[in-house]
Structure 1
Amino acid sequence: MAGNGGELRQRNTADKGNAKAVTTTDEGRKSDKLLDEHHGYEFGGPLGVTAMMIGFPILMYYLWICLWFYDGKLVTPSSVDDIVPFLQRMWTHVREDAYPNAYAWKVYTGLIIYQLFLAWVMPGYQQEGLPVPSLGYKTLMYNCNALWSVYATMLTAAALHYYHIFRLTEIINNYGHLMSVAMIYGFAVSFGVYFITVATGNQMRMSGSFIYDVFMGACLNPRIGPVDLKMWAEVRIPWVIVFFLAVSGGCHQYEQYGYVTPNMAFMILATWLYLNACGKGEECIPQTWDMYHEKWGFMVIFWNFAGVPFTYVYSVVYMASHHPDKYHFSTPTYVLLFTVLLTAYYIWDTSMSQKSRFKMQTQGITTFRKTFPQLPGGTLKNPKYIQTAHGNRLLISGWWQYSRKPNYVADWVMSFCWGVIIGKATAIPYFYSIFFITVLIHRCGRDFERCSVKYGKDWERYCEVVKYKFIPGIY
């Protein structure tokens, strides 16, 4: 296998219906071992991650206060003498309007418990993950039952709302309170998992800096019974909350005005597409770097428990607290926005499917799960790839022949649409797309550097074939 490094091949990876699984070479194991060790700090080291752990919650409170109480304007002190009174006003909003009250604890904790219960008992599709270098190339099995869990959650919420047991409208009205509880969960789970991991001796790739290791994580694949907590938290918590915040915003509009605006309907559709995609394609997640390499630390935990659900839907927060006249568009504009959203979603969905199913093919998996909606182009036939000396194959077919990260491009376009849907009313809903592109660029840097170490000259060959990092013909 090592002698075939850099060779460009085109063939049916199924080999007449019986896939030939790829194995890691001795050379590949050496590079994997190097990557599975701590080498220097990221994110500015201990000081940088400490600043993020403190600064991001403060930023979340500030942007929410500006949206809900100051008409979406980025308020600042009017003078040096106003700094202290300004900070006092901000603190008053947090203390009174974002206090972690009983309602927020009940709702958020109820969601956590219910999602864990569903993940434990619901039937699911059994998917084998990629070989994990940190576990001696052992493969883990995943019970992919997110789709059943999502629709069970939707039916449960609809019934509770209909019978006035739990009104969905109240979710958006308690946004600040729920956000505070989510932050507490994010910190508590991050530190709790770190201490449990160290106490049981299961830590890996440690730096020696306490706060940095809490941020990056100490464990790789924590599990409770059949539930892989990292995959569970990535799908069942953030996107469920995001979707129900949008639904709550729609219910709020309907009760207030008697109708739901196209803008809010856009966000309900957009968040459902994302949530449903995570459920219907859950078997693709074990094939990602997040699962087989990224540790479960504050960076991932806080973002899943609090960051994603309470920063990605600022447009919903604005619409729920402002009259529709402030963000009304013409019919052609709505048609354009919905068309761009659905087009970007198609590219994102199929590109993710192409890459993940290609990886499955290299494992010998040729029969794929059928869930709604299965979009044409999600599985490549006779894909082209570069065989590496490591043993892995680098896909250069489908969307992946035009860009090294076509899924990132489409994902970002969708995030930008989530801001555009309120037009020029306020800049705050564009935070998602601005923050997201920063994260994607940083993540690409980490990923490309890792691939350079892992594949060496084969990565150089790949970059010659797929020249563009993001947008074909531009960058």
Structure 2
Amino acid sequence: MTTQLNPRTTHYEFLGPPGATLISIGVPSMIYMLYFGCSEATGGCPPPISTENVFHAVTDPEWWKGLWDTQAALIYLAWYMFCVVAWAVLPGDQVAGTTLRTGGKIWYKINAFSTFLLALGITSGIILRYGPESFTFIYEKWVGLATASIVMSVVQATYVYIASFKPGKLLALGGNTGNFIYDWYIGRELNPAIGSFDIKTFNELRPGLILWVLINISMLCEQATRRGGLANVTDSMWLVLAFQGWYVADGLYNEPALFTTMDVTSDGFGFMLAVGDLAWVPFVYTLQARYLAFHPVELGPIATIAVILVNALGYYIFRDANGEKNDFRNGKNPKNLKFMTTKKGSKLLTSGWWGRSRHPNYMGDLIMALAWSLPTGFNTPITYFYVIYFAVLLIHRQRRDDEACALK
């Protein structure tokens, strides 16, 4: 019975264990590379570096010790625990997830948006009471905080991997190969939890996503401190904060939509999702704001309006397409969209946004990603890393979606 419910995985993604190993090393390395490759501390974006200097740095034990900051680690741990306590204490509705292979459903507590508002309220109070200079510590302790988030990712991935061997666990169909490295990376258990605390969905929306906005606010405060107050913050910085803050708020407000995504319904929770949620999202997606903190850019009214229109277009496509999909998955069809019934009995939309494009929500996401980078100007390609990376990520996800549709 256990074998039927949790069959052995025979298909590898990411080139199997070698690929999983390289990505597990490469993702944390890229987080640091994007910092040291675009940082005031190293001399620019990119800084004037040589192979000899890089080799000297990474072979120096003091450089490696410099990645760790005990105070920053304690700050990060306090932030994570704040999110846990907010999840437990703040009121929220109970929403059922999709039907599992066991026939049952997981019930999720919905209060990510409330946690976001609480965090913003506390942050705003600190800044209003003590000035923007009181919230620049994230800019100053960026490396230590990033290291702490990576350590947290490794610890969580290891914990859930070990816990997945307890009897009665429902495993992810793609994470039960028997190879330690691959299963640890991809995620062996589908829905690891401690009591009613669902680890995967909690990490997807709370610690990293909200921290993304808080880091941006810290970058804005750093620029404000240097330029003589919040009134002198550049239009480009306000745009980045507004665009990305709205994106995060939208995702948190529409929290139930998360429970129909591939991450939740199909993927296990391992290092891939842990480091993506906790480290990659907050410390890579804030690259534009961090750049603008030490390299201010004034856009002017015409360029500002143009960038706003680009972001608005992307958001409209993203939200409307996702709205159609989520309504349909939840048994609603207010637009009377056409659909086909597959051999497996499931239904696929064939009109509306999903009749025009295979993945219209991805297109909206990419247009928004471009709008988030445009405020940084065109002096460096590094601030456009997010757009390039996101395109690669979405192409890979599109291929996975197509494979899933083909099986239907």
TM-score, normalised to structure 2's length?
Answer: 0.90
> Aligned equivalents of 2:47 and 2:345: distance in 1?
52
Structure 2 residue 388 is the aligned partner of structure 1 residue 417: no
- Once the two structures are overlaid, the 10-residue window that deviates more, 54-63 or 402-411, is 54-63
How much has 1:444 moved relative to structure 2?
Answer: 1.2
How much has 1:403 moved relative to structure 2?
Answer: 1.0
Gaps of 5+ in 2: none
Please tell me whether the aligned partners of residues 383 and 395 of structure 1 are also in contact (alpha carbons under 8 angstroms).
yes
Matching residue of 1:88 = 56
> Aligned equivalents of 2:383 and 2:285: distance in 1?
8
Please tell me whether the aligned partners of residues 20 and 185 of structure 2 are also in contact (alpha carbons under 8 angstroms).
yes
Please tell me whether the aligned partners of residues 57 and 183 of structure 1 are also in contact (alpha carbons under 8 angstroms).
yes
How much has 1:74 moved relative to structure 2?
Answer: 6.2
Matching residue of 1:358 = 328
Structure 2 residue 167 is the aligned partner of structure 1 residue 197: no
SS, match of residue 67 in structure 1: coil
Q: 2:309 aligns with which of 327, 339, 348?
A: 339
More RCO (CA 8 Å, sep 6+): 1
SS, match of residue 329 in structure 1: coil
SS, match of residue 50 in structure 2: coil
- Once the two structures are overlaid, the 10-residue window that deviates more, 312-321 or 94-103, is 94-103
* Matching residue's letter, 1:147: F
Count of matched residue pairs: 396
Matching residue of 1:20 = none
Q: 2:146 aligns with which of 179, 191, 195?
A: 179
Post-superposition Cα deviations, 1:386-442, rounded to whole Å, max 9, x if no partner, equal 122312111223321211211111111111222222111221121111111111111
Please tell me whether the aligned partners of residues 267 and 316 of structure 1 are also in contact (alpha carbons under 8 angstroms).
yes
Matching residue of 1:46 = 17
> Aligned equivalents of 2:35 and 2:60: distance in 1?
13
SS, match of residue 285 in structure 1: helix
* Matching residue's letter, 1:120: A
Mapping 1:8-407, distance limit 5 Å: 38-68=9-39, 69-73=42-46, 77=50, 82=52, 85-89=53-57, 95=63, 98-133=66-101, 136-164=102-130, 167-200=134-167, 202=169, 204=171, 205=173, 206-257=176-227, 258=229, 259-322=232-295, 324=296, 327-361=297-331, 380-407=334-361
* Matching residue's letter, 1:202: K
How much has 1:255 moved relative to structure 2?
Answer: 1.6
How much has 1:319 moved relative to structure 2?
Answer: 1.1
Post-superposition Cα deviations, 1:220-253, rounded to whole Å, max 9, x if no partner, equal 1122333322111111022111111111111112
Please tell me whether the aligned partners of residues 340 and 347 of structure 2 are also in contact (alpha carbons under 8 angstroms).
yes
* Matching residue's letter, 1:328: E
Please tell me whether the aligned partners of residues 132 and 293 of structure 1 are also in contact (alpha carbons under 8 angstroms).
no
Matching residue of 1:460 = none
How much has 1:352 moved relative to structure 2?
Answer: 1.4
* Matching residue's letter, 1:125: D
Matching residue of 1:458 = none
* Matching residue's letter, 2:95: Q
RMSD: 2.4
Structure 2 residue 389 is the aligned partner of structure 1 residue 435: yes
- Once the two structures are overlaid, the 10-residue window that deviates more, 410-419 or 263-272, is 410-419
Gaps of 5+ in 1: 1-32, 367-378, 456-475
Please tell me whether the aligned partners of residues 216 and 296 of structure 1 are also in contact (alpha carbons under 8 angstroms).
yes
How much has 1:126 moved relative to structure 2?
Answer: 2.5
> Aligned equivalents of 2:170 and 2:95: distance in 1?
25
- Once the two structures are overlaid, the 10-residue window that deviates more, 385-394 or 303-312, is 385-394
Please tell me whether the aligned partners of residues 239 and 274 of structure 1 are also in contact (alpha carbons under 8 angstroms).
no
* Matching residue's letter, 2:235: P
Matching residue of 1:27 = none
SS, match of residue 421 in structure 1: helix
How much has 1:275 moved relative to structure 2?
Answer: 1.4
Post-superposition Cα deviations, 1:49-70, rounded to whole Å, max 9, x if no partner, equal 1011112212221220121123
> Aligned equivalents of 1:242 and 1:407: distance in 2?
21
How much has 1:158 moved relative to structure 2?
Answer: 2.2
Post-superposition Cα deviations, 1:279-337, rounded to whole Å, max 9, x if no partner, equal 11001111122111111011111111111111112111111122x2xx33342111110
Please tell me whether the aligned partners of residues 5 and 170 of structure 2 are also in contact (alpha carbons under 8 angstroms).
no
Relative distance call for 1:153 and 1:94 in structure 2 (3 A) is farther
